[in-house]
Structure 1
């Protein structure tokens, strides 16, 4: 059974990114359809998969992480506008029976991702 999961690591402070708003969208051409909005838990993970089973279909998706709001909430002083604010990651699911794990490593000045396991 396929599933989509994520987690966030705050690389500036060496800890999980807790309480970060995460939005998931399905993409079709220029159309974006909202699928889910959630918050990361104390471990920087979502409490359940973002999609799983029949809900995960082949196609293109976008995850939007509200990283700038997270850093502001923990008291990080950054200039306005924020250099890293909302991080949008677009990715494809080619095999809906597989586990797609899309982590975000983020600081107020940079971010990266990869396909995890």
Structure 2
């Protein structure tokens, strides 16, 4: 099954390109890493069931004085469907949800 994310800069109204992201297991074992493409997207195709965490280096995008220099999103993959976990990012806040 696959896991993907889409980072959107809600302050500027654009996708957040070039954001470094790691996909880790709950035990902090790195499953994959990369940077968002020009549309703010990144995908991994080899995830199994279990607990995961997306660790997003928001300081690389927002700058060294970012209020939230890193965002970690923990979630559970319980079935074989695709799991999409978007991040809506602004300088002083963020939100996420289960996408499709």
TM-score range, shorter chain: over 0.9
Point out the structure with max Rg over C-alpha. Answer: 1
Q: Supply the distance in 1 between the matched residues of 2:23 and 2:96 (Cα, whole angstroms).
A: 16
Q: CA contact under 8 A between 1:68 and 1:108: conserved in structure 2?
A: no
Q: Counterpart in 2 of 1:87?
A: 71
Specify every segment of 5 or more residues in structure 2 that has no aligned partner in the other structure, as ranges. Answer: none
Structure 1 regions of 5+ residues with no counterpart?
73-77
**Which residue, 20, 35, 56 being the options, matches 2:47?**
56
Matched, 1:104 2:100: no
The residue matched to 2:29 in structure 1 has which SS? strand
Q: Give the equivalent residue in structure 2 for 1:20.
A: 19
Q: Which has the higher strand share?
A: 2
**Residues 16-66 of structure 1 deviation map (CA, whole Å, 9 limit, x = unaligned):** 000000111011xxx3101111000110012xx31x2xx321110000111
Runs of 4+ in 1 over 6 A off after TM superposition: none
How many residues are matched?
100
Name 1:44's counterpart in structure 2. Answer: 40
- Within a 5 Å distance, the mapping from 1:67-82 to structure 2 comes to 67-72=58-63, 80=65, 82=66
